[in-house]
Amino acid sequence: MVNVKEIGKVINILKKESKKYNVPSATHIGTTTKDPFKVLISCLISLRTKDEITNKVSKRLFEKASNVKEMLKLSEKEIAKLIYPCAFYNIKAKRIKEICKTLIKNYNGKVPDDVNELLKIKGIGRKTMGIVMCYGFGKTVSIPVDSHVHEVSNRLGWVKTKNPEKTEIELMRIIPRKYWQDFNDLFVTWGQNICVPVSPYCSKCAIYDYCKRVNVKYSR
Protein backbone atom coordinates (compact mmCIF):
# COMPACT_ATOMS: atom_id res chain seq x y z
CA MET A 1 0.00 0.00 0.00
CA VAL A 2 1.27 3.47 -0.88
CA ASN A 3 2.37 5.57 2.07
CA VAL A 4 1.33 9.15 2.79
CA LYS A 5 4.87 10.48 2.40
CA GLU A 6 5.09 9.11 -1.15
CA ILE A 7 1.69 10.57 -2.01
CA GLY A 8 2.87 13.98 -0.81
CA LYS A 9 6.05 13.76 -2.90
CA VAL A 10 4.12 12.86 -6.05
CA ILE A 11 1.55 15.63 -5.49
CA ASN A 12 4.29 18.23 -4.96
CA ILE A 13 6.11 17.13 -8.12
CA LEU A 14 2.91 17.28 -10.16
CA LYS A 15 2.10 20.75 -8.81
CA LYS A 16 5.43 21.98 -10.13
CA GLU A 17 5.39 20.09 -13.44
CA SER A 18 1.75 20.75 -14.30
CA LYS A 19 2.44 24.48 -14.58
CA LYS A 20 3.94 23.72 -18.00
CA TYR A 21 0.55 22.68 -19.37
CA ASN A 22 -2.92 24.16 -19.79
CA VAL A 23 -5.24 23.48 -16.88
CA PRO A 24 -8.34 21.31 -17.45
CA SER A 25 -11.46 23.15 -18.65
CA ALA A 26 -13.39 22.83 -15.37
CA THR A 27 -10.47 24.25 -13.39
CA HIS A 28 -10.03 27.11 -15.84
CA ILE A 29 -13.71 28.06 -15.80
CA GLY A 30 -13.95 27.64 -12.03
CA THR A 31 -10.95 29.85 -11.28
CA THR A 32 -11.81 32.53 -13.85
CA THR A 33 -15.55 32.86 -13.28
CA LYS A 34 -16.21 31.55 -9.73
CA ASP A 35 -19.56 30.45 -11.16
CA PRO A 36 -20.95 27.00 -10.20
CA PHE A 37 -23.45 27.12 -13.07
CA LYS A 38 -20.75 27.60 -15.69
CA VAL A 39 -18.61 24.89 -14.10
CA LEU A 40 -21.60 22.53 -14.21
CA ILE A 41 -22.47 23.23 -17.84
CA SER A 42 -18.84 23.05 -19.03
CA CYS A 43 -18.43 19.76 -17.18
CA LEU A 44 -21.47 18.34 -19.00
CA ILE A 45 -20.04 19.55 -22.32
CA SER A 46 -16.60 18.06 -21.58
CA LEU A 47 -17.76 14.42 -21.61
CA ARG A 48 -15.65 12.63 -24.24
CA THR A 49 -14.57 15.99 -25.61
CA LYS A 50 -11.09 17.50 -25.71
CA ASP A 51 -10.49 20.48 -23.44
CA GLU A 52 -9.67 22.87 -26.28
CA ILE A 53 -13.09 22.19 -27.80
CA THR A 54 -14.84 22.32 -24.42
CA ASN A 55 -13.29 25.72 -23.67
CA LYS A 56 -14.14 27.09 -27.11
CA VAL A 57 -17.78 26.01 -27.23
CA SER A 58 -18.41 26.80 -23.55
CA LYS A 59 -17.25 30.36 -24.12
CA ARG A 60 -19.49 30.62 -27.19
CA LEU A 61 -22.47 29.27 -25.26
CA PHE A 62 -21.95 31.53 -22.23
CA GLU A 63 -21.76 34.60 -24.47
CA LYS A 64 -25.36 33.80 -25.43
CA ALA A 65 -26.54 32.48 -22.06
CA SER A 66 -24.56 33.01 -18.86
CA ASN A 67 -27.22 31.90 -16.39
CA VAL A 68 -30.12 29.49 -16.01
CA LYS A 69 -32.88 31.83 -17.19
CA GLU A 70 -30.96 32.90 -20.28
CA MET A 71 -30.17 29.26 -21.09
CA LEU A 72 -33.84 28.32 -20.96
CA LYS A 73 -34.63 31.00 -23.55
CA LEU A 74 -32.52 29.06 -26.05
CA SER A 75 -33.98 26.09 -27.90
CA GLU A 76 -32.28 22.70 -27.83
CA LYS A 77 -31.34 23.25 -31.47
CA GLU A 78 -29.70 26.60 -30.65
CA ILE A 79 -27.74 25.10 -27.75
CA ALA A 80 -26.67 22.14 -29.91
CA LYS A 81 -25.43 24.52 -32.61
CA LEU A 82 -23.49 26.59 -30.07
CA ILE A 83 -21.73 23.59 -28.49
CA TYR A 84 -20.96 21.82 -31.78
CA PRO A 85 -18.52 20.05 -32.42
CA CYS A 86 -18.38 18.60 -28.89
CA ALA A 87 -19.27 14.92 -28.73
CA PHE A 88 -22.99 14.07 -28.48
CA TYR A 89 -23.91 17.74 -28.83
CA ASN A 90 -27.61 17.02 -29.45
CA ILE A 91 -27.90 14.80 -26.37
CA LYS A 92 -25.98 17.31 -24.26
CA ALA A 93 -28.18 20.18 -25.44
CA LYS A 94 -31.26 18.26 -24.28
CA ARG A 95 -29.63 17.45 -20.95
CA ILE A 96 -28.62 21.08 -20.38
CA LYS A 97 -32.22 22.19 -20.93
CA GLU A 98 -33.54 19.50 -18.57
CA ILE A 99 -31.11 20.42 -15.82
CA CYS A 100 -31.88 24.13 -16.16
CA LYS A 101 -35.61 23.40 -15.83
CA THR A 102 -34.89 21.40 -12.67
CA LEU A 103 -32.78 24.22 -11.23
CA ILE A 104 -35.61 26.70 -11.81
CA LYS A 105 -38.30 24.38 -10.45
CA ASN A 106 -36.51 23.07 -7.35
CA TYR A 107 -33.62 25.41 -6.54
CA ASN A 108 -34.73 28.96 -7.49
CA GLY A 109 -32.43 28.87 -10.50
CA LYS A 110 -29.31 28.24 -8.40
CA VAL A 111 -26.94 25.28 -8.46
CA PRO A 112 -27.23 23.65 -5.02
CA ASP A 113 -24.02 23.44 -3.00
CA ASP A 114 -25.05 20.16 -1.43
CA VAL A 115 -23.84 16.73 -2.51
CA ASN A 116 -27.14 14.94 -2.09
CA GLU A 117 -29.15 17.66 -3.82
CA LEU A 118 -26.79 17.70 -6.79
CA LEU A 119 -26.99 13.93 -7.16
CA LYS A 120 -30.79 14.12 -7.17
CA ILE A 121 -30.66 16.01 -10.46
CA LYS A 122 -30.96 13.75 -13.50
CA GLY A 123 -27.79 13.90 -15.57
CA ILE A 124 -25.45 14.75 -12.68
CA GLY A 125 -23.29 11.84 -11.57
CA ARG A 126 -20.58 11.65 -8.95
CA LYS A 127 -17.81 13.01 -11.17
CA THR A 128 -19.84 16.05 -12.22
CA MET A 129 -20.98 16.57 -8.63
CA GLY A 130 -17.38 16.46 -7.44
CA ILE A 131 -16.21 18.89 -10.12
CA VAL A 132 -18.97 21.38 -9.28
CA MET A 133 -18.35 21.16 -5.53
CA CYS A 134 -14.58 21.38 -5.97
CA TYR A 135 -14.19 24.01 -8.69
CA GLY A 136 -17.57 25.73 -8.52
CA PHE A 137 -17.91 26.06 -4.75
CA GLY A 138 -14.35 25.36 -3.55
CA LYS A 139 -15.56 22.55 -1.29
CA THR A 140 -13.56 19.36 -0.90
CA VAL A 141 -16.28 16.79 -0.34
CA SER A 142 -14.86 14.17 -2.70
CA ILE A 143 -12.14 13.44 -5.25
CA PRO A 144 -13.66 13.84 -8.72
CA VAL A 145 -12.57 10.86 -10.82
CA ASP A 146 -12.67 10.72 -14.61
CA SER A 147 -10.88 8.36 -17.00
CA HIS A 148 -7.53 10.15 -16.54
CA VAL A 149 -7.61 10.05 -12.75
CA HIS A 150 -8.68 6.41 -12.89
CA GLU A 151 -5.95 5.44 -15.36
CA VAL A 152 -3.06 7.29 -13.70
CA SER A 153 -3.98 6.12 -10.18
CA ASN A 154 -4.04 2.50 -11.35
CA ARG A 155 -0.78 2.81 -13.30
CA LEU A 156 0.93 4.23 -10.24
CA GLY A 157 -0.28 1.20 -8.30
CA TRP A 158 -2.07 3.35 -5.75
CA VAL A 159 -5.35 1.56 -6.44
CA LYS A 160 -6.43 -1.60 -8.21
CA THR A 161 -9.89 -0.80 -9.50
CA LYS A 162 -12.06 -1.56 -12.52
CA ASN A 163 -13.96 1.72 -12.87
CA PRO A 164 -13.89 5.39 -11.81
CA GLU A 165 -16.57 4.86 -9.15
CA LYS A 166 -14.43 2.29 -7.32
CA THR A 167 -11.36 4.46 -7.84
CA GLU A 168 -13.04 7.41 -6.12
CA ILE A 169 -13.85 5.27 -3.08
CA GLU A 170 -10.32 3.90 -2.81
CA LEU A 171 -8.61 7.25 -3.36
CA MET A 172 -10.72 8.93 -0.70
CA ARG A 173 -9.62 6.18 1.65
CA ILE A 174 -5.86 6.61 1.08
CA ILE A 175 -5.37 10.25 0.00
CA PRO A 176 -5.12 12.80 2.84
CA ARG A 177 -7.94 15.32 2.60
CA LYS A 178 -5.54 18.24 2.22
CA TYR A 179 -4.73 16.97 -1.29
CA TRP A 180 -8.31 16.47 -2.48
CA GLN A 181 -8.83 19.99 -3.87
CA ASP A 182 -5.97 19.74 -6.36
CA PHE A 183 -6.06 16.02 -7.06
CA ASN A 184 -8.38 15.96 -10.08
CA ASP A 185 -6.71 19.00 -11.63
CA LEU A 186 -3.21 17.54 -11.33
CA PHE A 187 -4.03 14.00 -12.44
CA VAL A 188 -6.16 15.09 -15.38
CA THR A 189 -3.38 17.42 -16.55
CA TRP A 190 -0.86 14.60 -16.24
CA GLY A 191 -3.17 12.13 -17.98
CA GLN A 192 -3.74 14.52 -20.88
CA ASN A 193 -0.09 15.38 -21.45
CA ILE A 194 2.27 12.69 -20.09
CA CYS A 195 0.45 9.61 -18.80
CA VAL A 196 -1.73 9.42 -21.92
CA PRO A 197 -4.02 6.40 -22.45
CA VAL A 198 -1.98 4.82 -25.25
CA SER A 199 1.85 4.71 -25.08
CA PRO A 200 2.45 7.10 -22.16
CA TYR A 201 5.58 9.27 -22.17
CA CYS A 202 7.39 7.35 -19.44
CA SER A 203 10.77 8.60 -20.69
CA LYS A 204 9.93 12.16 -19.64
CA CYS A 205 7.66 11.47 -16.68
CA ALA A 206 8.68 13.38 -13.56
CA ILE A 207 7.06 10.77 -11.28
CA TYR A 208 8.57 7.75 -13.07
CA ASP A 209 10.47 6.62 -9.96
CA TYR A 210 7.22 6.42 -7.98
CA CYS A 211 5.23 4.55 -10.65
CA LYS A 212 4.71 0.79 -10.85
CA ARG A 213 3.58 1.19 -14.50
CA VAL A 214 0.76 -1.30 -14.02
CA ASN A 215 -0.54 -2.61 -17.37
CA VAL A 216 1.76 -0.32 -19.34
CA LYS A 217 2.78 -2.49 -22.30
CA TYR A 218 4.18 0.21 -24.55
CA SER A 219 5.64 3.58 -23.67
CA ARG A 220 7.63 6.38 -25.23
pLDDT tens track for 37-79: 999 999 999 988 888 899 999 999 999 999 999 999 999 999 9
Arithmetic mean of pLDDT, 20-30:
78
> pTM of the full predicted structure?
0.88
pLDDT confidence bin for 110, thresholds 50/70/90: very high
Arithmetic mean of pLDDT, 12-26:
88
pLDDT, position 158? 97
**Does residue 23 register a pLDDT over 90?**
no
- Tell me what percent of the residues of the chain surpass a pLDDT of 70: 99
Domains 4-22+143-210 and 34-136 share a fold: no
pLDDT, position 24? 76
- 10 Å Cβ neighbour count for 105? 9
**Does residue 138 register a pLDDT over 80?**
yes
State which CATH number among 1.10.340.30, 1.10.357.140, 1.10.3720.10, 3.20.20.140 fits the domain covering 34-136.
1.10.340.30
> Long-range contacts made by residues 135-138, C-beta under 8 angstroms, separation at least 24?
135/26, 135/27, 135/29, 135/30, 135/31, 135/39, 135/185, 136/30, 136/35, 136/36, 136/37, 136/38, 136/39, 136/40, 136/111, 137/36, 137/113, 138/181
Distance CA 73, CA 64 (A): 10
Q: Where are the domains of the chain?
A: 4-22+143-210, 34-136
pLDDT, position 216? 93
pLDDT, position 62? 96
Length of the chain in terms of residues written: 220
Query: Mean pLDDT in the chain?
Result: 93
Q: Identify which has the larger pLDDT, 143 or 30.
A: 143
pLDDT, position 47? 87
Q: DSSP characters for the chain?
A: ---HHHHHHHHHHHHHHGGGSPPPHHHHHHHHH--HHHHHHHHHHHTTS-HHHHHHHHHHHHHH--SHHHHHTS-HHHHHHHHTTSTTHHHHHHHHHHHHHHHHHHHTTS----HHHHHHSTT--HHHHHHIIIIIS---SS----HHHHHHHHHHTS---SSHHHHHHHHHHHS-GGGHHHHHHHHHHHHHHTS-SSS--GGG-TTGGG---TT-----
pLDDT, position 51? 87
Class of domain 4-22+143-210: mainly alpha
- 10 Å Cβ neighbour count for 138? 13
**Does residue 160 register a pLDDT over 90?**
yes
pLDDT confidence bin for 157, thresholds 50/70/90: very high
pLDDT, position 32? 76
Cβ 112 vs Cβ 105: under 8 Å: no
Q: Identify which has the larger pLDDT, 220 or 24.
A: 220
pLDDT one-digit tens code per residue, 174-216:
999 999 999 999 999 999 999 999 999 999 999 999 999 999 9
**Does residue 26 register a pLDDT over 80?**
no
Work out whether the CA dihedral 208, 212, 214, 219 comes out positive or negative.
Answer: positive
Cβ 107 vs Cβ 67: under 8 Å: no
Distance CA 33, CA 36 (A): 9
Distance CA 6, CA 12 (A): 10
Q: Identify which has the larger pLDDT, 92 or 22.
A: 92
